Amino acid sequence: MRAKLRIGALISGGGSNLQAIIDACEGGRVGGRMVFVGADTPGAKGLGRAKKHGIPTFVVDYGEVIRAFRRAPTPPSPADFDLQDVRAKQALFSDDRDPERDRHFFSSRAVAESRLLAAMAGFDFDLLVLAGFMRNLTPYFIDRVNTVPGEPRIMNIHPALLPAFPGVDGYGDTFRYGCKVGGCTVHFIDYGEDSGPIIGQKSFAITPRDTVDSVREKGLALEWQLYPECIQLFAEGRLKTVKLTYALPDRRTVQRSVVKIAV
């Protein structure tokens, strides 16, 4: 029998996706168990859900780290932080952005991320799931979790049919655009914002009777099915990330990392 997948989770809010994953593990629909839940704010309600199930929790207060960073003129960065390396790899901001803003963003996030990594080091885990974690992770963190080339192990759920509507309000953006179909996406994290290889998607119709709230409700109900399904595919070793090169009609070529699901 295959060993149970050890899953860690990061959250920022209510944790209904976290709950869906815990329930799927306990109900046998996911061959795994949740080994820790971390949050970026002490107020994250999902922490209570984890505690109810006896799952260890920790908090790295991003707000506090960022405020302290603003106050200190030369704030200490983690010893292994290399700003040039992180800036060269990141795909969150355009290259012509003010270098001082970049330095502030990536250095302060490295402080928070090094604390996350220190807290996570207390647990053995196979997969890290972002379940409503509302922070962009930087290459500093990603490279320290994804240590085997070609085998990503940080998943995210996003409330839109990516690559449409990345960012913080996927359902709102979908609704306001006038889309007739909405949906949710589970993908591996890469160095950009909601841009990594897609694992699974589910969609729903948006009718004239819908409001932004009903769109969110429909979407969340699908997220609770989709996330456990994708985690189970990972647990079964069926997700392979491959780099493909495509020829475009204008003869240029484009390279994408895509997830192939073994049948």
**31 lines the binding site for ligand GAR (CB under 6 A):** no
Q: Does residue 59 interact with ligand GAR by CB under 6 A? A: no
Q: How many CB atoms lie within 10 A of CB 120?
A: 21
Choose between 14 and 56: whose C-beta lies nearer to ligand GAR. Answer: 14
Which of 235, 87, 220, 218 has the alpha carbon at shortest distance from 155? 235
Which helix (H) or strand (E) is 154 found in, with range? Answer: strand 154-158
187 is catalytic: no
Out of 49, 115, 153, 158, the residue judged to bind ligand GAR by CB under 6 A: 158
* CB closer to ligand GAR, 184 vs 239: 184
Taking alpha carbons only, the member of 113, 158, 117, 123 closest to residue 17 is 158
Interface with ligand GAR includes 200 (CB under 6 A)?
A: no
Indicate the residue among 30 and 81 with the shorter CB distance to ligand GAR. 30
C-beta of 21 vs 110, nearer to ligand GAR: 21
Overall size of the chain counted in residues:
263
C-alpha distances in angstroms, 164 versus 95, 171, 185? Answer: 22, 11, 10
Instruction: Based on the shown chain and the rule CB under 6 A, indicate whether residue 223 belongs to the binding site for ligand GAR.
Output: yes
Contact between 59 and 51 under an 8 Å Cβ cutoff? The reply is no
Closest separation in Å from C-beta 196 to ligand GAR: 12
Minimum gap (Å) between residue 182 Cβ and ligand GAR: 11
**Site stretch for ligand GAR (CB under 6 A), options 58-66, 70-78, 143-151, 153-161:** 153-161
Decide if residue 132 touches ligand GAR (CB under 6 A).
yes
Sequential DSSP letters for 22-79: HHHHHTTSSSEEEEEEEESSTT-THHHHHHHTT--EEE--HHHHHHHHHH-SS----T
Query: Does 17 interact with ligand GAR (rule: CB under 6 A)?
Result: yes
Residue nearest to ligand GAR (CB): 132
Angle between helices 212-235 and 170-177 (to 10 degrees): 130
Query: Is residue 32 near ligand GAR by the rule CB under 6 A?
Result: no
- Residue with smaller CB distance to ligand GAR, 111 or 131: 131
- Is 217 strand, coil or helix? helix
Catalytically active residues are 158
Judged by the rule CB under 6 A, the positions of this chain that interact with ligand GAR are: 13-17, 46, 131-132, 134, 157-159, 168, 170, 220, 223
